[in-house]
Structure 1
Amino acid sequence: MTDAELTARLRANLWDFKSLQARGGPLRMLDLPGVRAFALPDHPDMRFQQQVMYEDARALAEALAPLEAWYREQDVPVWRVPVYPGETLAEGPLARAGYRPEDAIPAMGLTLSHPPPPHLPRGLILEHPESMDEVLALNALCYGQENAGYFEDWRVQLRPSSQLHAVLVREGDRPLAGAVSFERGDTAGIYLVATHPAARNRGLGALVMHCLHADAAARGRTVAVLQASDMGYGLYQRLGYRDAGGWTNWVRHAR
């Protein structure tokens, strides 16, 4: 599978995952022809969540003026447009509209196989929870107190379903690591990967990922895709993920 194919799968999966989040939760969505914009006005400083996705450069160029007006209405001071590898036609319109490239997020993909069940160390329990609460609570713990409210907002909105599946590793009553898989077609998008700070360097992140992969493969998925943080990049490489190229964030500052 080519890097372009992996990028296309991640784009489609993330498009649907963000749209799911916008159904009744705090995330707001603007749906324009070929473009979807997402805003989190309750947490305006969370730049990662103020995001525009597009199907092609022409649709993006035509949407830039209404996008700016909408983000200003939401009182969001900064938002971003991730430009996918090789899509240079988007850069000119963005630059003319006042956007500037600032950083990039690696897109990664893995062809799934049917491995044996992962070994579970003694004392650990592997669960497929009926709610996302503890996975989200782990993310709130790992990504800073300033972001805790964001994850708290999703504890009622996101629930496991035929598309959304959660994995949790606990020790006794204590959740140690977790993540979710959002599945679209034959592709599993991996999100919300987190390990309790006191339980790191025990291989629990890899254990959670192996469980997600095995479960997704058993459901007929053939590819896993994700966006990698700096902290997670090395883990995903060791698990066999291939870097399909960075999504460059073109950022617009309203003030």
Structure 2
Amino acid sequence: MNQRLQDLSEPSIMNAIEANVREFLLTLGRLGGGEERDEPAIQWIIGGAPISYHNCVVRATLTAETVDEAILASVQCFQAHKVPGSWHVGPSMRPAHLGERLVAHGFTPGGSELGMAVDLQTIPEQVSIPTGFVIERVHDEQELWVWKQTLGMGFGEGEIEANWVGEMYQKAGLSDQEAWHHYLGRWNSEPVATASLFLGAGVAGIYFVWTLPPARRQGIGAAITLAALQDARRLGYRLGILGSSSMGYAVYQRLGFREYCRIEMYEWPSSATNFVGTQWDQ
């Protein structure tokens, strides 16, 4: 496991947010069999997923002279694999006008994630939850199937994304020694919420936080996020990070998270009608 980050200066936290997201995307993409390019100026994983978010360029330190060539090379890779793709443009990526060049080449702005972080020594010990709500760690394939079905009821790309992610997590393994830990929230025995913890780049990343609409505004999203953070703290991690939507921002603020950066997403569409790299469409 990576050495735990202890430096909580703002530049170090910003770097840690980008590094955890990058490692998260690369690890899932490798499990999917994506093609990786890892050079000093650029890094990507493309071809292993059915959705643009996970066929992605994750690092770029390009110049005004090299940026267009690199963008065209990524497009050629998307097209060769017949998948949609993306660039995840964080604050360390260069050149400064990278987003403008991506749009000029036909990419579409896909919104941004707010890079947030919290010192795990400051998180609350508990939050208010409704009667009958419990949180379970996912330890076997049956529990992972329920987790996947719950995620697929509206998160992101819906069933397509949930099925692929569930398959990747099954490949990665569900033991306590793995980098991923998954959480399922049940309210009166019914599955209503999900979250995943990814231990990478020395910090604890929170992903796939999802609450079914009828169960929202009950403190459930905060509770399942806190459970994952507390597990990371018990394992010796100091910093928790996540990418927040505008909808989740206030929830994470109440847990002590602060915004440190934004990661902008630029998407490339695909003419492919299906995806045969994994079993999601079988």
The question of a shared fold, defined as TM-score above 0.5 by the shorter chain, is answered with: yes
Matched to 2:97, the amino acid is E
CA–CA distance in 1 between the matches of 2:155 and 2:139? 23
1:175 aligns with 2:191: yes
Tell me the residue number matched to 1:82.
88
CA–CA distance in 2 between the matches of 1:94 and 1:32? 23
Offset of residue 90 of structure 1: 4.7
Query: What is the aligned-residue RMSD (CA, Å)?
Result: 3.1
- Correspondent of 2:166 among 152, 155, 179: 155
1:48-90: CA deviations, max 9, x gaps? 33421115335x836434322111112235x332322365525
CA–CA distance in 1 between the matches of 2:55 and 2:222? 29
Tell me the residue number matched to 2:53.
48
Offset of residue 235 of structure 1: 1.2
CA–CA distance in 2 between the matches of 1:153 and 1:185? 23
- Correspondent of 1:129 among 138, 149, 153: 138
- Correspondent of 1:32 among 35, 38, 63: 38
Tell me the residue number matched to 1:222.
238
Change (3 A) 1:40 1:87: closer
Structure 2 contact 184–195 (Cα < 8 Å) conserved? yes
Structure 1 contact 101–248 (Cα < 8 Å) conserved? no
Structure 1 contact 140–152 (Cα < 8 Å) conserved? yes
Tell me the residue number matched to 1:104.
112
Offset of residue 224 of structure 1: 0.7
Matched to 1:56, the amino acid is T
- Correspondent of 1:17 among 13, 20, 24: 24
Tell me the residue number matched to 1:195.
211
Indicate the SS of the match to 1:8. Answer: helix
Structure 1 contact 80–249 (Cα < 8 Å) conserved? yes
Runs of 4+ residues deviating >6 angstroms? none
1:114-151: CA deviations, max 9, x gaps? 7535566542222112143333222211227x631221
CA–CA distance in 2 between the matches of 1:110 and 1:24? 29
User: Which stretch has the larger CA shift, 221-230 or 167-176?
Assistant: 167-176
Offset of residue 171 of structure 1: 2.9
Offset of residue 243 of structure 1: 0.9
Structure 2 contact 121–238 (Cα < 8 Å) conserved? yes
1:193-252: CA deviations, max 9, x gaps? 011222111110011111111111010010011111232122112222111122233455
Change (3 A) 1:120 1:143: closer
Change (3 A) 1:18 1:93: closer
Change (3 A) 1:250 1:20: closer
Aligned-pair identity (%): 22
Structure 1 contact 94–100 (Cα < 8 Å) conserved? no
Indicate the SS of the match to 1:142. Answer: coil
What is the TM-score with the length of structure 1 in the denominator?
Answer: 0.82
Offset of residue 177 of structure 1: 1.4
CA–CA distance in 1 between the matches of 2:49 and 2:226? 35
User: Which stretch has the larger CA shift, 101-110 or 6-15?
Assistant: 101-110
Structure 1 stretches of 5 or more lacking a match? none
- Correspondent of 1:247 among 253, 260, 263: 263
CA–CA distance in 2 between the matches of 1:41 and 1:13? 19
User: Which stretch has the larger CA shift, 34-43 or 13-22?
Assistant: 34-43
User: Which stretch has the larger CA shift, 10-19 or 108-117?
Assistant: 108-117
Offset of residue 42 of structure 1: 6.4
Work out the number of aligned pairs and report it: 250
CA–CA distance in 2 between the matches of 1:254 and 1:121? 43
Structure 2 contact 205–242 (Cα < 8 Å) conserved? yes
